[in-house]
Amino acid sequence: MAKGPQKRRQEDFGTEFEEKVLYINRCSKVVKGGRKFSFSALILVGDGQGHVGYGFAKANEVSDAIRKGSDAARKNIFSIEMEGTTIPHEARVVWDGADILLKPAPSGTGVVAGSKVRSVLELAGVKDVIAKSLGSSNPLNQVKATFKALLELQNREKCFTERKGRDHV
Average pLDDT (142-159) is 90
How high is the mean pLDDT of the chain? 89
Pair 5, 53: CB distance under 8 Å = no
pLDDT digits over 90-99, tens only?
999 999 999 9
Angle between helices 115-124 and 139-152 (to 10 degrees): 40
Q: What total number of domains does the chain contain?
A: 2
Which pLDDT belongs to residue 138? 94
E-state strands within 32-162: 34-46, 51-59, 77-79, 91-95, 98-104, 111-112, 129-133
Rounded-to-5 percentages of helix, strand, coil across the chain:
30, 35, 35
Per-residue pLDDT band at 2 (split at 50, 70, 90):
very low
The CATH number assigned to the domain holding 132 equals: 3.30.230.10
In a domain, 27, yes or no: yes
CA separation for the pair 70, 150 (Å, rounded): 21
Q: Check whether residue 103 and residue 143 sit in a common domain.
A: yes
Last residue of a domain, one of 26, 57, 78: 78
Which residues, including other chains, have CB under 8 Å from residue 70's CB and lie 6 or more apart? 19, 43, 45, 55
- Domain containing 134 equals 81-167
Residue 1 has what pLDDT?
A: 40
Report percent pLDDT > 90 for the chain.
77
Q: Is residue 4 part of a domain?
A: no
* High-pLDDT (> 70) share of the chain, %: 90
**Buried (b) or exposed (e) across 106-134, using 16+ Cβ within 10 A?**
eeeeebebeebbbbbbbbbbbbbbbbebe
Query: d(Cα 43, Cα 57) in Å, to the nearest integer?
Result: 9
Half-sphere exposure of 117 (CA within 13 A, CB side): 29
What's the pLDDT at 12? 65
Q: No. of H helices and E strands in the chain? A: 4, 8
Instruction: Tell me the pLDDT tens digit for each residue of 99-127.
Output: 999 999 999 999 999 999 999 999 999 99
Tens of pLDDT along 18-35?
Answer: 999 999 999 999 999 999
Please indicate, yes or no, if residue 5 is contained in any of the structural domains: no
pLDDT tens sequence across 45-99: 999 999 999 999 999 999 999 999 999 999 999 999 999 899 999 999 999 999 9
